[in-house]
Amino acid sequence: MPPPPGLGEVLVHVTARAMHAIDLRTVTGAHRSSKDASVPLFETVRPGLEGVGEIVALSPRVARSSRLRLGMRVAFFPARYAWSEIVTVAEKFATPVPDDMPDEVAGQIHRVPLMAMMLFRCAQLSGASKNGGAIVVSAAGSSVGRILCALLSEAGLPLVALVRRADAVAEFHAMHKGLRCIATSNPNWPRQLVQALDGRPLHVIVDPVGGDLATELIEKLDRHGTFLTYGDLSGERMTVDTMHLASRFLSIKGLSVDSWANLGERVRRRDIEQIFDLARRRPELFPVAGHYDLAEISQAAAHVQDIRRRGCVVLTS
């Protein structure tokens, strides 16, 4: 049992939390830069940052002044050690959950959707819609990719989605009708991409894959274009001609959802409201692949790493 909540904190009995691949990488230290040779400290490798549950204790200040109350169901992010049964959460990072939202959705409402929201906002600020430009989203069938494509599509921004396998194209079209999608397993995918762009300049690329795919994509960016990266799924290095970057005024920017907590309160609340709204309107964007009790954490981890998985793995207690 953690200590009583400190100033501005609440204790939450967690009922559901999403298990992400990044959580497993955190345990091994594989999420860090390849140049970081330090040994991960125990306190930095206890996984879990988001979940949903019931408030079981509040600090006196929170009890007097907050919108939160004892027994309220809240979703939270970030909070350390969400794979525990009781978690200490800062008041400002606990969000009351609507009654019509099930735990399995509320438990995954932060990390992945907020990463998509940050990428969406950055794509807009990078001039994605300027002069009729287009956006390419790789790994579009991933949890982040499918939500990002929904946000971009609803904003009227032209995009081309990339997925790895041919069968994933049909899955993508079932969820995103009318959007263009290409399988990179097809050796002719670069030519198909040019055709799909239909003469539009490529202003923004959003990529979590890296490696050869990122190397080839960045060559197709239009002048003043932006390459947004938020992962390294391939485990391979991207090779970039620096003169190509300089002569075409290209930008490369890395994003992590870890920085979301540093945004202003108004921005954070607006992001959460938009995600709640999206979850109500588009529940298919928040599928659940399986439920596991905390005692079944090994089986849950194996499911997370299964390449056939479609949806979030949820740990319950």
CATH of the domain at 310: 3.90.180.10
Per-residue pLDDT, averaged over 164-180, amounts to 95
Band the pLDDT of 173: cuts 50, 70, 90.
very high
Exposed e or buried b for every residue in 109-148, given b needs 16+ CB within 10 A? bbbbbbbbbbbbebbbebebbeeebbbbbbbbbbbbbbbb
Exposed e or buried b for every residue in 278-306, given b needs 16+ CB within 10 A? bbeeeeebbbbbbebeeeeeeebbebbee
Using one digit for the tens of pLDDT, what is the confidence trace for 230-264? 998 898 999 999 999 999 999 999 999 999 999 99
Give the pLDDT confidence score for residue 20 in this predicted structure: 84
Residue 4: inside a domain? no
Give the pLDDT confidence score for residue 28 in this predicted structure: 61
Residue 262: inside a domain? no
Give the pLDDT confidence score for residue 36 in this predicted structure: 52
Residue 192: inside a domain? yes
Per-residue pLDDT, averaged over 41-57, amounts to 78
Per-residue pLDDT, averaged over 169-191, amounts to 96
Of the listed ranges 92-96, 177-181, 217-221, 232-236, the least confidently predicted one is: 232-236
Are residues 293 and 236 part of one domain? Answer: no
Tell me the pLDDT of the chain averaged across its residues: 90
Band the pLDDT of 308: cuts 50, 70, 90.
confident
Are residues 126 and 251 part of one domain? Answer: yes
Are residues 185 and 242 part of one domain? Answer: yes
Is pLDDT above 50 for 41?
A: no
Residue 280: inside a domain? no
Give the pLDDT confidence score for residue 25 in this predicted structure: 72
Give the pLDDT confidence score for residue 23 in this predicted structure: 78
Give the pLDDT confidence score for residue 39 in this predicted structure: 47
Are residues 84 and 100 part of one domain? Answer: yes
Residue 264: inside a domain? no
Per-residue pLDDT, averaged over 28-47, amounts to 53
Using one digit for the tens of pLDDT, what is the confidence trace for 55-70? 999 998 888 877 899 9
Number of separate domains in the chain:
2
Three-class SS of residue 155? coil
Which CATH number characterizes residue 170's domain? 3.40.50.720
Is pLDDT above 50 for 40?
A: no
Are residues 196 and 179 part of one domain? Answer: yes
Structure token pair of residue 126? 């990078």
Give the pLDDT confidence score for residue 64 in this predicted structure: 82
Residue 236: inside a domain? yes
Residue 1: inside a domain? no
Are residues 246 and 127 part of one domain? Answer: yes
Are residues 102 and 157 part of one domain? Answer: no
Are residues 44 and 71 part of one domain? Answer: yes
Band the pLDDT of 17: cuts 50, 70, 90.
very high
Band the pLDDT of 3: cuts 50, 70, 90.
confident
Per-residue pLDDT, averaged over 20-28, amounts to 74
Are residues 100 and 116 part of one domain? Answer: no
Are residues 191 and 73 part of one domain? Answer: no
What is the residue range of 39's domain? 9-109+286-316
Are residues 235 and 137 part of one domain? Answer: yes
Per-residue pLDDT, averaged over 216-237, amounts to 94
pLDDT over 90 for what percent of the chain? Answer: 75
**Could you give the CA distance from residue 253 to residue 122 in angstroms, rounded to a whole number?**
9
Per-residue pLDDT, averaged over 301-311, amounts to 86
User: Any residues with CB less than 8 A from the CB of 129 and at least 6 apart, and which?
Assistant: 156, 157, 158
Residue 86: name the closest of 161, 166, 9 by CA.
9
Are residues 33 and 128 part of one domain? Answer: no
Is pLDDT above 70 for 45?
A: no
Residue 273: inside a domain? no
Give the pLDDT confidence score for residue 290 in this predicted structure: 93
Per-residue pLDDT, averaged over 294-304, amounts to 90
Chain length of the chain: 317
Give the pLDDT confidence score for residue 27 in this predicted structure: 67
Using the 3D structure, point to which of 215, 239, 257 is the last residue of a domain.
257
